Amino acid sequence: MTGKVHQCYKNSKKCYLISVPLKCNLPSKLVKEIRSYHSVVQLIKEAVVDNNGPLKNTTWTELANFVDDYGSRLAGTKNLENAIDFLLKRLKSAKLDNVHGEEATVPRWVRGHESATLIAPRRKQLSMLGLGNSVGTPKKGITAFVVVVSSFEELKKKASEVSGKIVVFNENYISYGETVPYRSRSAAEASKYGAVATLIRSVGPFSLNTPHTGQQDYGDAKPIPTACITIEDAEMLQRLYNRGKILKIHLRMNAHLEEPAISRNVVAEISGRTEPEKVVLVSGHIDSWDVGQGAMDDGGGAFISWKSLEVLRHLGLRPRRTIRAVLWTAEEEGYFGAQSYLKAHQNEIDNLNAVIESDEGTFTPTGLMFHGTKRAACIMQEIVKQLKPFNATILEVSKDPVDSDIELFQNKGVPGISLRNDNERYFWFHHTQADTMTVEDPLALDLGTAVFSAVTFILADISAELPKASKMYYM
């Protein structure tokens, strides 16, 4: 998952919830129709969630095999393309329709060797990860004195001290949405004042000496090397600095950008029975950062998305309209796969009924997050009631687009849906070496697959399409 996030329970400034239940006035015929999908939901449950269900545990097992075999999947790497080849084969073996890759040009950032060493007042290796899109240091590294600040405001106040120094940002973690600007913009801000590099306290609420990488953007500023360090080391540097100790750090990074590469979004469908040109899109992203296994961000989301199509195929269910799974490439560097897709498919936006994504964790599902018009939210509210067998009946309605890649489509008025799940610890693992299968739970993944199977089928099959918002009118 890239920069923008909606973790409302963490007081993100970017997320505004409308209290539910909404007061709705849906035609009783429509309500009745939605309730009639009860039997489909039951079939899905029997296949995926119940003991001895033929597809039970398969999402976890297939995801484990996949991330164990391919590991992390950074945009621009041959490894990501191998993983995509594997998945295309796998989707064909599931006998899905129209399985293919759609090319997208993606950045190719290479981390290379990297290290940060405190050399005064005493020698200590600092656990670190270079930030995406960072430039490297000269070959021999940079050795510089250090200024520690805890905010952009403090940086401004200390502007005159910064030239020629490494700036350490020891910002406090509030929520991801509110704190992540320190990752995205610290280099740009400090570079303006002549800093030679920045080291950011990792953006996360809890650490076991855990660095968290992620994308950053220089804007118009002169590029300087930038990396994250751990909460523990940032706090220690702050304490030493506050005591008046002279801090010196040696930073070495071979990070660099190579020529852009060609990657692919992975597409597979269950073609619609009567209106195949109309599409409900369900998605996750297939790329990851180059740490851990990319199991949580976003292996889990990608797998529950395509597995939901396999479930429906297994049950022989073909809806009125088309369900299209898209596994986006190069999400982490800024929705590159989704941008390419939008460009190639811009004439089909009117036929896009809904965009669904899971890129905020595949822990135990609790319901759905939704962005769209009130009438659409009312329909969704009736649909989530059908998720009772999965104990996932909460609908949260957001004034802002939900989830990541699918923002682009919501900005054009398409209703957006995201998996709501017990992701309180999401940012403990996010963009770290700890993003592995150990985070994922078989039952939670079964429930995620089941929820997406049910929601995509109902949305693609009911007589009423979700109304779109005009570009001018949101909620």
> Which residues of this protein are in contact with a second copy, per CB under 8 A?
64-65, 68-71, 121-122, 124, 127, 207-210, 231-232, 235-236, 239-240, 243, 292-293, 428-429, 432-434, 436-438
| Least Å from the CB of residue 350 to a second copy | 45
| Least Å from the CB of residue 148 to a second copy | 13
Nearer to a second copy, 205 or 223 (CB): 205
Burial group, residue 313, by CB count within 10 angstroms (0-12, 13-18, 19+)? middle
Nearer to a second copy, 279 or 296 (CB): 296
Q: Which amino acid is at 403?
A: D
User: Helix (H, G, I), strand (E, B), or coil: what is residue 240?
Assistant: helix
Nearer to a second copy, 54 or 121 (CB): 121
| Residues contacting residue 252 through CB under 8 Å, at least 6 positions apart | 113, 114, 115, 116, 137, 140, 141, 142
Nearer to a second copy, 255 or 462 (CB): 255
Nearer to a second copy, 198 or 432 (CB): 432
Nearer to a second copy, 292 or 372 (CB): 292
Question: Which string of b and e fits 13-30 if b means at least 16 CB within 10 Å?
Answer: ebbeeeeeeeeeebeeee
| Least Å from the CB of residue 240 to a second copy | 6
Provide the pairing of β-strand 142-149 with 248-253.
antiparallel
Nearer to a second copy, 390 or 428 (CB): 428
User: Helix (H, G, I), strand (E, B), or coil: what is residue 284?
Assistant: strand
| Least Å from the CB of residue 301 to a second copy | 19
| Least Å from the CB of residue 168 to a second copy | 14
DSSP string, 322-371: EEEEEEESS-TTTSHHHHHHHHHTGGGGGGEEEEEE--S--SSEEEEEEE
For helices 58-70 and 442-461, the axis angle rounded to 10 degrees is 110
| Least Å from the CB of residue 428 to a second copy | 7
| Residues contacting residue 342 through CB under 8 Å, at least 6 positions apart | 408, 409
Closest CA to 380 of 323, 420, 342, 351: 420
| Structure tokens belonging to residue 336 | 């590159």
Cα–Cα dist 169/42, whole Å: 52
H or E element in which residue 143 lies: strand 142-149
Nearer to a second copy, 64 or 342 (CB): 64
Maximum pairwise Cα distance, the chain: 74
Provide the pairing of β-strand 142-149 with 166-169.
parallel
| Least Å from the CB of residue 210 to a second copy | 5
Q: Which of 171, 178, 331, 357 is catalytic?
A: 331
Q: Is 161 a catalytic residue?
A: no
End-to-end CA distance of the chain: 25
Closest CA to 248 of 115, 149, 120: 120
| Least Å from the CB of residue 75 to a second copy | 19
| Least Å from the CB of residue 85 to a second copy | 15
DSSP string, 407-475: HHHHTTT--EEEEEE--TTHHHHTTSTT-SGGG--HHHHHHHHHHHHHHHHHHHHSSSPPPPPPTT---
Cα–Cα dist 80/328, whole Å: 12
Nearer to a second copy, 79 or 339 (CB): 79
Burial group, residue 430, by CB count within 10 angstroms (0-12, 13-18, 19+)? buried
- Residues with a catalytic annotation lie at 331
